[in-house]
């Protein structure tokens, strides 16, 4: 029986994790839950799963992780506010099932160096796919990692046609049902940019050997290319319960979590290059990832501010990337420490607010 602490229990990842656990109560026991502001749902979940420890907000979530013993901490909080809980999970010795990619990206080497080998198990579908493909080969035989991107709701559009995009249109993801921030990030391709940095940090592959291809069906979740020209791809229907369950039970699979692909009817899988002129986010993320230090934290913080401003009707859709670019250009990086991160993020949020103020 694995004891699970679930952070972000009220969100898309959190509720799907509880579905997996509910269907496999003989394998998993929830010993702690943390949420943000949705107290009603969190308390209902605690009652349903007999959970005694419940926390609200990121600081309480980190304290919960320090106080309650668990085998696995699933971090499904949104945003870089998840960094404290991520570090607490690593310090506790539990396996960290990581959906909250932002904490790894902003923390960079601070997070990686705190983790024991194999302690971080990715929940993000692309990184779960890569982790699965890597189980069968030597690391020295890896040529490239190829991340798939759905392309989002605006695939094929010109930049000019995106000027008047509404929040509702940006939230119409073609293949996944996710929270507001990641869905918006998928539409701008910022999500894929963050995932390139995430892949570099998780798998230690340099940025010039991490590629992105657009795959609108979201069936192939990513691939590993090996030095002999062979490629291993992981394929399954777009259902996050699969990578969630694998991370909770790593390295073992949980039977019957999802439906396999249907081979009795015709289907087509497409792959196409990313249009980096219209969607520059991946190239921007590669540059900030390679520059390192406080740059990834600033990139992420500026994006978080811009996304909220877009949904509040303060800025237009194209302003999201413009705000990030301007803030990143103005940044003077410092070496990584928790204090430096705190200062850089605070600076980036204030700077983003002042840039977006000029675009009202």
Ligand X SMILES: CC(=O)[C@@H](O)[C@H](O)COP(=O)(O)O
Ligand Y SMILES: NC(=O)C1=CN([C@@H]2O[C@H](COP(=O)(O)OP(=O)(O)OC[C@H]3O[C@@H](n4cnc5c(N)ncnc54)[C@H](OP(=O)(O)O)[C@@H]3O)[C@@H](O)[C@H]2O)C=CC1
Binding ligand Y by CB under 6 A: which of 5, 51, 83, 182? 182
Question: Residue 150 interacts with ligand X (CB under 6 A)?
Answer: yes
What is the length of the chain? 360
Minimum distance, C-beta of residue 324 to ligand X, in the bound complex (Å) = 16
Question: Residue 175 interacts with ligand Y (CB under 6 A)?
Answer: no
Buried residues in 292-308 as b, exposed as e (16+ CB within 10 A): ebbbbbbbbbbbbbbbb
Question: Residue 105 interacts with ligand Y (CB under 6 A)?
Answer: no
Q: Which of 126, 136, 272, 274 is nearest to 200 (CA)?
A: 126
Minimum distance, C-beta of residue 65 to ligand Y, in the bound complex (Å) = 12
Distance CA 326, CA 206 (A): 26
Cβ proximity to Mn ion, 45 vs 128, nearer residue? 128
Distance CA 56, CA 61 (A): 7
**102 assigned to a ligand binding site:** yes
Distance CA 58, CA 207 (A): 31
Contact positions with ligand X (CB under 6 A) in 220-259: 240
**300 assigned to a ligand binding site:** no
Cβ proximity to ligand Y, 58 vs 356, nearer residue? 58
Cβ-based neighbour number of residue 287 at 10 Å: 15
Binding mask 170-209 toward ligand X (x if CB under 6 A, else -) reads: ------x-----x---x----xx-----------------
150 binds, among ligand Y, Mn ion, ligand X, none (CB under 5 to 8 A by kind): ligand X
Query: Among positive and negative, which fits the CA dihedral 200, 201, 205, 207?
Result: positive
Residue 230 buriedness (CB in 10 A; 0-12 / 13-18 / 19+) = exposed
Binding ligand X by CB under 6 A: which of 124, 319, 326, 345? 124
Minimum distance, C-beta of residue 311 to ligand X, in the bound complex (Å) = 18
**303 assigned to a ligand binding site:** no
β-pairing, 142-149 with 220-226?
antiparallel
Binding ligand X by CB under 6 A: which of 68, 120, 149, 224? 149
Minimum distance, C-beta of residue 192 to ligand Y, in the bound complex (Å) = 12
Binding ligand Y by CB under 6 A: which of 19, 23, 29, 57? 57
Cβ proximity to ligand X, 10 vs 188, nearer residue? 188
Cβ-based neighbour number of residue 83 at 10 Å: 27
Binding ligand X by CB under 6 A: which of 152, 216, 280, 289? 152
Q: Which of 248, 179, 252 is nearest to 18 (CA)?
A: 248
Cβ proximity to Mn ion, 45 vs 80, nearer residue? 80
Cis peptide before 15 (omega within 30 of 0): no
192 binds, among ligand X, Mn ion, ligand Y, none (CB under 5 to 8 A by kind): ligand X
Q: How many residues bind ligand X (CB under 6 A)?
A: 12
**Which one of the spans 12-20, 120-128, 201-209, 319-327 is the region binding ligand X (CB under 6 A)?**
120-128
179 binds, among ligand Y, Mn ion, ligand X, none (CB under 5 to 8 A by kind): ligand Y
**186 assigned to a ligand binding site:** yes
Contact residues: ligand Y, CB under 6 A: 8-14, 34-38, 57-58, 61, 76-78, 81, 99-102, 124, 176, 178-180, 182, 240
Contact residues: ligand X, CB under 6 A: 124-126, 149-150, 152, 176, 182, 186, 191-192, 240
Annotated binding site for 1-deoxy-D-xylulose 5-phosphate: 101, 125-126, 150, 173, 186, 191-192, 195
């Amino acid at each position: 029986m694995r004891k699970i602490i679930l952070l972000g229990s009220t969100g898309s990842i959190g509720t799907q994790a509880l579905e997996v656990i509910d269907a496999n109560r003989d394998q998993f026991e929830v010993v702690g839950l943390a949420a943000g502001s949705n107290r009603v749902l969190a308390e209902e979940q605690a009652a349903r799963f007999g959970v005694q420890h419940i926390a609200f907000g990121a600081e309480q979530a980190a304290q919960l992780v320090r106080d309650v013993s668990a085998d696995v901490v699933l971090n499904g909080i949104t945003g870089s506010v998840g960094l404290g809980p991520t570090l607490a999970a690593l310090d506790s010795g539990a396996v960290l099932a990581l959906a909250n990619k932002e904490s790894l990206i902003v923390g960079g080497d601070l997070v990686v160096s705190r983790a024991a080998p194999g302690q971080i198990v990715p929940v993000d579908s692309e990184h779960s796919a890569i982790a699965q493909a890597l189980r069968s080969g030597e690391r020295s035989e890896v040529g490239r990692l190829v991340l798939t991107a759905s392309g989002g709701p605006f695939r094929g559009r010109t930049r000019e046609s995106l000027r008047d995009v509404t929040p509702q249109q940006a939230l119409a993801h073609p293949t996944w049902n996710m929270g507001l921030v990641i869905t918006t990030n998928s539409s701008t391709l910022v999500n894929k940019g963050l995932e390139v940095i995430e892949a570099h940090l998780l798998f230690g592959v340099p940025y010039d050997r991490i590629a992105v291809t657009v795959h609108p069906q979201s069936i192939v979740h990513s691939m590993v290319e090996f030095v002999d020209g062979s490629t291993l791809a992981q394929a399954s229907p777009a259902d996050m319960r699969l990578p969630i369950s694998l991370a909770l039970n790593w390295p073992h699979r949980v039977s019957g979590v999802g439906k396999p692909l249907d081979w009795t009817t015709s289907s087509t899988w497409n792959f196409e290059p990313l249009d980096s002129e219209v969607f520059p986010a991946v190239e921007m993320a590669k540059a900030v990832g390679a520059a390192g230090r406080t740059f990834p934290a600033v990139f992420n913080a500026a994006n978080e501010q811009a996304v909220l401003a877009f949904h509040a009707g303060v800025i237009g859709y194209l302003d999201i990337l413009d705000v990030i670019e301007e803030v990143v250009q103005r940044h003077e990086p410092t070496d990584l420490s928790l204090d430096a991160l705190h200062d850089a993020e605070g600076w980036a949020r204030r700077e983003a607010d002042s840039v977006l103020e000029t675009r009202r």
